Amino acid sequence: MVDAVHQATKRYIKKNKFVTIFGGEHSISIGTIRAFRDYYTSLTVLQLDAHADLRKEYQGSKCNHACAVYEASRTTNLIQVGIRSMDVIETTVLDKEKTYFAHEMALDDTWMDSAIDQMTDNVFITIDLDVFDHSIMPSTGTPSQEAYFGMKLWNF
Amino acid sequence: MQTKSYAGIPEEFSKLETSKIVLIPVPYDGTSTFQKGADKGPEAFLHASENMELYDIETETEVYKQGVFLAEAVTEASSPKRWWMPYTKRLNAILKRTSL
């Protein structure tokens, strides 16, 4: 699947299109980000998500949804926004300077400018719909409460 | 995919050659661990898009006029990864599935 998405994405980037991929669960982003990396140097990946998705491997696979941005964390300028759920093992991978936790975002609005300042010119945005509070977006694989309400996130 | 275009936009705005934007649906739910159904997302999204206003208040634009091409869905679902399959065989399989 990762390779199939990688190739399909590449095909349209090559044609100079503004490529948008919609799933499906978050593991589809692994191949997608790989394709954008093939064409853009110093790529920023902006991830809007309730979960860190930084596991190197999960349930025997490096291509599980729980590993969606592990590769990106090693190969791109990864900025994580809205995070409120993760395993302790992911703390060894996560870059605190570029991670905006939901509980901190709720208290302080400066995260928006700070995150934007950390971006390079080429930004790939990956949105896991569970970044929205489960009252807004209940129909996801792993809904998560305690954040993040609509308009403010769209404003960002 | 049952739906053939995004948001029911006129054909002149949905051809690959003249579209600036390409949408690639990936109806895949191979690794979720809690609630299933992510594979139904693309069709639900496209279906809902048909009933959406095309004018955007905030940006005062009609983005679809840039052209939005809906690509064939990526449906390879045998495994999250297929490293062992020779590259050419994989590529041929993808080309075979697509009409472009």
Q: What ipTM was estimated for this complex?
A: 0.77
Query: Which residues lie closer than 8 Å to A122 by C-beta, 6 or more apart?
Result: A36, A40, A41, A42, A43, A44
Residues of chain A positioned with their CB less than 8 A from the CB of B31: 25, 27, 58-59, 61, 63-66
Asked if residue A79 belongs to a domain, the reply is: yes
Question: What CATH number is given to the structural domain containing A68?
Answer: 3.40.800.10
Residue A22 tokens, joined: 């919609």
Closest residue by Cα to residue B6 from A130, A22, A139, A76: A22
A65 shares contact with chain B (CB less than 8 Å): yes
φ and ψ at B34, to 5 degrees? -125, -100
Please tell me the total count of domains within chain A.
Answer: 1
φ and ψ at A138, to 5 degrees? -75, -25
Asked if residue A10 belongs to a domain, the reply is: no
Q: In 3-state terms, what secondary structure has residue A23?
A: strand
pLDDT, tens digit, 9 for 90 and up, residues A11-69: 999 999 999 999 888 999 999 999 999 999 999 999 999 999 999 999 888 888 899 99
B94–A8 CB contact, under 8 Å: yes
The per-residue pLDDT for A150 is 61
Asked if residue A85 belongs to a domain, the reply is: yes
Q: Distance, in angstroms, between B90 CA and closest chain A CA? A: 8
- The answer to whether A56 and A93 are in contact (CB under 8 A) is yes
For residue B93, the chain A residue with the least C-alpha distance is A4
Asked if residue A18 belongs to a domain, the reply is: no
Residues 20-49 of A with CB under 8 A from B: 20-25, 27-28
Give residue A139's domain range: 41-155
More confident residue, B63 or B83: B63
Asked if residue A68 belongs to a domain, the reply is: yes
